[in-house]
Amino acid sequence: MDKMEKIQQIKEDVRNKVMARVKKSSLNYGADESQVRRQIEAVLDTVVQQKMEGHIDDAVRRFIIEEIINEIFGLGPIDRLVNDPGVWEIMVNGPKEVYVEREGKLQKTDIAFEDEGQLHFYIERILSPSGRRVTEFEPYIDARLPDGSRLNVVRAPIAPGGPVLTIRKARHKVLEIQDLINKHTMDEKTAHFLKACVRNHLNIVIVGGPGSGKTTILNILASFIPDSERMITIEDTLELRMDNKHRVALETRPSNIEGKGGINIRDLVRNALHMRPDRVIIGEVRGEEALDMLQCMNIGRVGSMTTLHANSALDALLRLETMAMMGSANVSPELIKRQIISAIDLVVVVDRLLDGTRRVVSVTEVLKTNAMEYALKDIYALIRKDEGTAVAFELKATGYKPVFVEKFRETDHLPEEFRVSSRSTA
């Protein structure tokens, strides 16, 4: 056995002895870390005396101690990923496969759990602050960590390959519009245009695929709402992080083990209307609450916003139509379509490109026509540019001036080309 193998064996022996004490509660999670550290050092000295004749490098000694401390007080093998600011998401596909997302790209790590038992141990630890558990009777769960990170767990029997843990880390820095401009998510003119749309109370839907940046853009657009307006935000798990002074945040509640006491998005949308909102912001629409959202937008709560999963502006409206139909069997498809056309002013489509960058793909007006079909006009669109062997994309104005700008009262942030009296319908 070489030196590295001996060191690894020492770590395993120390960990096993210390974790045995943890399970017997001679070391508990509420214990003082310095006290636990002293006991780990005592166990380590004993094992080193047996395995290495009392000689071990100080750096190796510190490494072993910190690794075990992380297992007792932290999240074990993935603790350093949780604390790494460059990691955006952590994906554990069973005990032996851990991926992360950095700068929009997936990377496989060399991190692994010992077995399913150890992975279950840390999943329970992560869930403990929320008071929830994942069991074979409730084999999947969404939860929020104390720092705002979003957590999803799936286990057997629906995940036969082992427990699957996904953590979408919360951004502690609240991004601003300039951050999106610097990252080329959108250009400055588009940013000013969207700010003018928010300030002028347009109803906006932000759409895209998973991880495309919908919530980030919603968060930034909501930050343009004046502090003089009362804003109600509604989410399954709190992700929106904004500095608006007059904001009331609402979060859904899952049912208890008996299937009772659950409060869903639809319940909160209905309740929000009794809270004197100027704006209602829904983190994501994914079901029958779409009907209540449309009615909310159509009865004077203009300037509301939400996100949903779709690949284009037209797909978004069609999906809204389907979800709203789920909300009432007594409403005709024609009436729902009319409500969508009346309620939605603007659709912003975002996507994550193959290089990992997140970009605004299009900004589209929903025209208020009397026809029974959706009439859409792109105001901005992402244009492909071939630069030799490289391919680049640029968000460009299409030349179309939206109809709604004629009703804008506040034009301070509106790009100059939209202020002219003549309108091109290109």
Write out the chain's pLDDT in tens, 426 residues: 566 677 777 777 777 777 676 555 444 444 566 776 777 777 777 777 666 665 677 777 777 777 777 776 778 789 889 888 889 899 999 999 999 998 778 999 999 888 898 898 889 888 877 777 888 888 998 887 777 788 899 998 999 888 999 998 887 677 889 999 998 899 999 999 999 999 999 999 999 998 899 999 999 999 999 999 999 999 988 888 887 789 999 999 887 767 788 899 999 999 998 999 999 999 999 999 999 999 999 887 679 999 999 999 999 999 999 999 998 878 898 999 999 999 999 999 999 988 888 999 999 999 998 878 899 999 999 998 766 656 678 899 999 999 999 888 888 878 888 875 544 444
Q: Is 217 helix (H, G, I), strand (E, B) or coil?
A: helix
Check residue 208 and report its DSSP letter. Answer: E
- C-alpha dist (Å) from residue 302 to 76, 198, 267, 336: 47, 10, 20, 18
Residues 196 and 410 sit within 8 Å (Cβ to Cβ): yes
What are 186's strand-pairing partners?
A: none
> Which letter does DSSP use for residue 372 in this model?
S
Q: Under 8 Å CB-to-CB from 37, ≥6 apart: which residues?
A: 65, 69
**pLDDT at residue number 148:** 77
Alpha-carbon distance 61 to 45, whole Å? Answer: 9
- Cβ pair 178, 101 in contact under 8 A: no
Q: What pLDDT score does 27 carry?
A: 47
Q: Which of 148, 78, 150 is nearest to 118 (CA)?
A: 78
- The pLDDT assigned to 363 comes to 97
- pLDDT on residue 386: 67
CB 210 within 8 A of CB 309: yes
Phi, psi dihedrals of residue 110, rounded to the nearest 5°: -95, 15
Say if residues 176 and 277 touch (Cβ distance below 8 Å).
no
Domain boundaries, the chain: 1-73, 78-170, 177-418
Q: What is the pLDDT of residue 274?
A: 92
Q: Is 108 in a helix, a strand, or coil?
A: strand
Architecture of domain 177-418: 3-Layer(aba) Sandwich (3.40)
DSSP 307-366: EEE-SSHHHHHHHHHHHHHHH-TTS-HHHHHHHHHHH--EEEEEEE-TTS-EEEEEEEEE
Computed over its alpha carbons, how large is the radius of gyration of the chain?
A: 26
Crossing angle (nearest 10°) for helices 333-343 and 289-298: 50
CA–centroid distance for 228 within its chain: 27
Q: How far apart are CA 184 and CA 221, in angstroms?
A: 16
Give the strand order in the sheet containing 204-208. 247-251, 231-235, 279-282, 305-309, 204-208, 346-352, 358-366, 376-387, 390-397
DSSP state of 253: B
Provide the β-strand partners of residue 150.
Answer: 144, 168
d(CA 54, CA 73): 27
DSSP letter for 91, please: E
Strand pairing category for 204-208 and 164-168: unpaired
Q: Return the closest-CA partner of residue 237 out of 221, 220, 254.
A: 254
Query: Residue 404: exposed, middle, or buried by beta-carbon count in 10 A (0-12, 13-18, 19+)?
Result: middle
CA 277, CA 229: separation in Å to the nearest integer?
8
Q: Going edge to edge, which strands form the sheet with 89-93?
A: 105-108, 98-102, 89-93, 164-168, 150-154, 140-144
CATH of domain 78-170: 3.30.450.370
End-to-end CA distance of the chain: 75
Q: What pLDDT score was predicted for residue 248? A: 94
Integer Cα distance of 389 and 384 in angstroms? 13
Tell me which amino acid residue 49 is. Q
Q: How far from the centroid of its chain's Cα atoms is residue 364's Cα?
A: 24
Please say whether the beta carbons of 175 and 222 come within 8 A. Answer: no
